[in-house]
Amino acid sequence: MSETKLNPAFDLTGQTALITGGGTGLGFGMARCLVASGAKVVLIGRRGDELQKACAALGSGAFALVGDVTKLETAPGLVDQAEKLAGAVSILINNAGVHLKKPAAETSDAEFATVLQTHVFGAFALTREAGRRMIQRKSGCVLFTASMASLMGIPLVVAYSAAKSAYLGIVRSLATEWGQHGVRVNAIAPGWIASAMLDQALSGDPARKAKILSRTPMNKFGDPDDIGWAAVYLCSPAAKFVTGTVLPVDGGAAIGF
């Protein structure tokens, strides 16, 4: 990423962001843009090697923290460790997730629960802990990675859709409860973003790729940085009066016909 001079309204100097699932994919894209905007980032994930590679690419402002958000009782310790590494957490990005593509009639209770455990229970446990501290400091920003599955019906992903739709209720409820304490809560709903995961999903399925592009008015896939710069905006002073919102970054897919 080339050096650019940012408008002060988008400057995150002095901020520390805790990003779950930050070692790869969209999480890494958000981390890269936040670092470029002056923030320090702590990346949480289960694979230490991936986290170390990500931090090496991001530079001295990035820190690795191995952890599993599904182990709810570890949330306070994870926030403690993050703050020891990089200072008070002023930004939390709930990005960790798992996917399940399966017909609803064949989705077991255990499979359904596993998806919700990561996306909903894991994210809430970490948000509750980080949020307590933000409320005490009278300042903070929480961001959830929602999905097109939060906004439209997509077949074969009932557990994922339930989890991502739950984010919308969490965002709105926390925004109304925590706004008086100076804590903003928002979400980004990514569209189809170019990545190794998308390549794998569309490999050998030209019909699906054509269908996605045909319903995306911009007729192309997004880049991870498209999500990253949206995250910078929502976490920056430029969005100081924005809370309780879900921002689609999708090339128009949510409103396309």
Closest to 230 (Cα-Cα) out of 34, 80, 8, 54: 34
Question: Is residue 167 flagged as an active site residue?
Answer: no
Helices and strands (H, E) in the chain, number of each type: 9, 7
- Decide: 187 and 144 in contact? Cβ < 8 Å: yes
Mark residue 98 as left, alpha or beta (left: phi above 0; alpha: psi -120 to 50; beta: remaining): beta
Exposed/middle/buried for 254, CB within 10 Å: 0-12, 13-18, 19+? middle
Catalytic residue among 112, 160, 178, 192: 160
Tell how far CA 141 is from the center of its chain.
12
The Cα 32–Cα 28 span in angstroms is 6
Tokens read off for 47: 């694979």
Tokens read off for 195: 């990545």
Question: What's phi and psi for 101, nearest 5 deg?
Answer: -110, 110
Question: What residues are annotated to the active site?
Answer: 160
